[in-house]
Structure 1
Amino acid sequence: MPGLTQEIADNLERFKRDLDEHDNKTLVDRYYYSTSGPVLDNGQQAALRRSVSDYLDVSVRDVVLVGSAKLGFTLRPKPNRPALSHFGDESDIDVAIISSPLFLRYWQETFSHWVDVGDWDQAGKFREYLFRGWLRPDKLPRDADFPLSKQWFDFFRSLQASGEFGGYKIAAGIYLNEHFWEEYVGSALSECRLYVKELT
């Protein structure tokens, strides 16, 4: 993995310079909407995006590789991982699915489930993220009366098990539209910019 480590380090240095020189919109365009990334090559990224788009019946353009698998490092601190930590063996491949129809489908199914059975253990967190235009599947009901949740996680586990994407866990979230996704990423970029300034 030495070659990958060097590529990530180079990408991180370039990112730090760009973070100082460009606004969040430019950074989103340059680092997320471009097809290159240090962890998955272009062929793997294309295959992953196509697999997700085919399964969920969304446009491949609506599927965006994000997070440390895209950048090579994390923007926000996580438990035992400070901001700007390199992608590693314990990292996930994160995918944003930016699709209003898919978002509404899952929201409607979840609402119907709530009408029938009431709150579930993650209902409060689900609503909190829903307010931000982000539907987090890990906050969906997990009981047998809500098969969408099991189907979702079975599919993403099958992608990991295939080994085609390095054997990493693959996680995804659904955004109502680009506005909400770009706001989320923009806030992470702003936090990271402050963090980098504190380091210098």
Structure 2
Amino acid sequence: MGSHEVYYTLPAGDRVIKRKALISKMLEEECGTGTGDNCSRYTYFVESYKEYGIYLKRPTQLNKGFDFTVNVSGMWFKKNRRYSNPSHQDIFDVLIECKSKYPEEYDAVKSIIAKIYRCEDIDLTTPLGIFFHDFEGIERPIEIILLSVKWLFMEQDCAYWNYSGRKMLYSGLLEQGLV
């Protein structure tokens, strides 16, 4: 058993192709034989941006089969207890701050989120120059949130495919006026 590290890149394609590829990769996981040390644990390193990284952790506390948490290395979320996995509300809060601070530049953020939602490849090699402050007041680049959104969409496609999948988060972004 034990912990396993996997480096993974989503293939190009629509959400069906991406979901099948990710779930197929997860189907290769070693089965566990119990809890604690008898549980097989996986960390999937899926993105990097400067000193930050996005990684997926399985299994989750919620125990929902193909569910996973989306985590960011290099920063923390929450105010009362530090977590590396941003919630939807954390994402909303960051985007609301950026929309307020950078009203003219925010259209680029909206465009990138829409591309991610449509499963288009995005290029973040040229920084947008848009920053937010984490709960400790440290300035962070918006790109790390955009990459988190990409994987939160994937998480919803895996966990809620038979419902609306990624549309659940996207609808929340729409309701907040963030896309």
Q: Which TM-score applies when normalising by structure 1? A: 0.29
Q: Which protein is bigger by CA-based radius of gyration?
A: 1
Between the two structures, name the one with larger relative contact order (CA 8 Å, sep ≥ 6): 1
| More helix per residue | 1
